Amino acid sequence: MDEKEIKTETAPSSELLENELIRVRYGERYKKLLKNTIGSLLVVAAISILIATLFLPVLEIHGNSMNPTLESKDIVVSVKTSQLKRGDICCMYYNNHILVKRVIGVAGDVIEMDEAGNVFVNGTLLDEPYVQVKALGECDIEFPYTVPERSVFVLGDNRSSSVDSRNELIGSISLDEIVGKIVFRVWPIPSFGGI
């Protein structure tokens, strides 16, 4: 008769059971913490996108019509508003593009420009330290020009290459087409700050 070996399983020690219980509980806490962290990050991201879309649009500048104030590849933050005053830099919709220009006149203002590129608002020469070279540029509107109600008259700071309210195709910009007022530059880092 063959002898069969009888195997006996020994019960795990209480220390081993306790370590396993700690490991399982740690895993559950880790999963819960990870789930809560990811949920919180998604909520923060959604709120950030909502705020950026509705209240603080972030834009990248393309072209040189606002040189030297803003240059191509600058990244700026704007505030959604249609309350604009002379001198503000605003962004607006035009032909499925966003243009960035400076407000020169508001509703009711009478704008004039001479051949040398000097701008007069309501008969007063406009002080424009932000313009390096004055130019009449591509102008096909008749001066004096009165800015219509609920509109603004805008010009680029680089007058010789800017397409703006001096062109009949663009003309005065309705306040309904205004995206916002540019208030801050975030890129490039050396130019970081208010505008």
Look at residue 52 in the predicted model and tell me its pLDDT: 59
Reported confidence tier of residue 9, pLDDT bands at 50, 70, 90: low
Which pair of tokens denotes residue 78? 């704007």
Average pLDDT, the chain: 82
Catalytic member of 4, 31, 65, 160: 65
CA atoms within 13 A on the CB side of 110: 5
Active site residue 101: yes
Could you state, in order of their start, the residue ranges of all structural domains in the chain?
13-54, 59-194
Contacts of 40 (CB under 8 A, 6+ apart): none
Query: Which residue from 139, 101, 145 is spatially nearest to 120, judged by alpha carbons?
Result: 145
Residue 147 CB burial class (10 angstroms; 0-12, 13-18, ≥19): buried
Residue predicted with more confidence, 144 or 163: 144
Look at residue 41 in the predicted model and tell me its pLDDT: 85
Reported confidence tier of residue 4, pLDDT bands at 50, 70, 90: low
Active site residue 65: yes
Query: Which of 41-55, 66-80, 122-136 is predicted most confidently?
Result: 122-136
Catalytic member of 78, 101, 162, 165: 101
Architecture of the domain whose range is 59-194: Ribbon (2.10)
Q: Are 126 and 105 in contact (CB under 8 A)?
A: no
180 pLDDT higher than 70? yes
What is the rounded average pLDDT of the residues 73-100? 84
192 pLDDT higher than 90? no
